[in-house]
Chain A
């Protein structure tokens, strides 16, 4: 596994960033290609709401 990670890091990186845009911005500053995916946890992470939504949606 470490070999594979090292191999990956030797190649040009293309990153998919989920959620917080700050991580994508940092990588862009370092000229790394980033695809930003806007994502937030369902129901803001509220477990009661997630349980209800599982049943209703």
Chain B
């Protein structure tokens, strides 16, 4: 077999793994109890590896928030001083089978969604989604929802899930894609479907009313509730495809607000990075592109498995948030066909005649066509201390894919 044949065979195997994922929500538990290697005074974050001093404002703000939340400092000033002395260990979520939205911060006492990929037996983790601390805000108000998640909502969901024996997530994902979600920034359908399942189960689980009611209100009122679950699914689906020799399929795309990084199956855990790009988006009242930080978050794991902007043509409702026209959205989805390896057998889009979503981004096709993966995403402020300020669309930097292609050529002696 020549190298081209070896690559084709390897990519088939990588895509087989990507398309046979069977994600099941099995737990909601404190990160320090379930995430491998997350211990001591460690905070994990989105994106490829980065030191405190090079982090963007929003990621620094979010980490300051987690330090206060954990009780490791009383004030933002004290937290910053300790961070500058290097008192806490900061590592990427991706190094721990985890992902997190926007700044992506996870600390030991923070409960995370635990998703098991039943097809391969691996587990992945994601924190809950909210609109303030994960964007860099660290006020006591912003941290209050983290405490409610830790003390009320997560324990209630954990107890319920234990009684349910877990919840299969593919049925929700399949249905939500047919109801106009793209599973990155639009989770109206998936969140409702999940809330319906859990509401019945909570009612049947004999949870005390003082915990059951606030949790039901949380589930019923959170449009992006399922994003954390979808991200955990994405990570659980991609991890088994992370080590196929000779494969040119992308297994991670992520950003920390400073750098954008990708991983490629045949190149294992190595990161290929380029400066994080500017997001082209719409802003909430009071903010403009002058305030915006650069692209940030592990949530591009959605596009890595073929959701998000890859399926945006089937989710026109998202355009009121990220901008653009339905025609643009259809074209984005068609365009992603040109840089992917296959289509998904069960994740399907009614707007395209129930065609499968595009899956298996091939670095060779990205470089050859000069078409970068498109991502729909939220926007954080460039400075610490702010909630969400907008949302939009962004392209992965082509430089990451060129670097990966060069490394691939070197590794496989071409």
Contact = CB atoms under 8 A, between A and B. Distances in A.
Contact of A57 (B368, B370, B398): B368
Given A46-B402, A49-B402, A49-B405, A56 B248 contact: yes
A55 B414 contact: yes
Interface string A8-43: 000000000000000000000000000000001011
Interface in B119-172: none
A56 B370 CA distance: 16
Given A43-B367, A57-B364, A52 B3 contact: no
Contacts of B7: 56-57
Contacts, number: 43
Contacts of B409: 52, 55-56
Contacts of B370: 40, 43-44
A40 B7 CA distance: 25
The DSSP consensus for interface residues of chain A is helix
Nearest to A44: B370
B5 to A, nearest CB: 11
B88 interface: no
B406 interface: yes
Nearest to B371: A40
Contact of A55 (B3, B367, B369, B398): B3
B406 A56 contact: no
A52 B414 contact: yes
Contacts of B3: 55-56
15 contacts: A42-B369, A43-B368, A43-B370, A44-B370, A46-B367, A49-B405, A52-B367, A52-B409, A53-B367, A55-B4, A55-B409, A56-B408, A56-B414, A57-B4, A57-B368
Interface of A: 40, 42-44, 46, 48-49, 52-53, 55-57
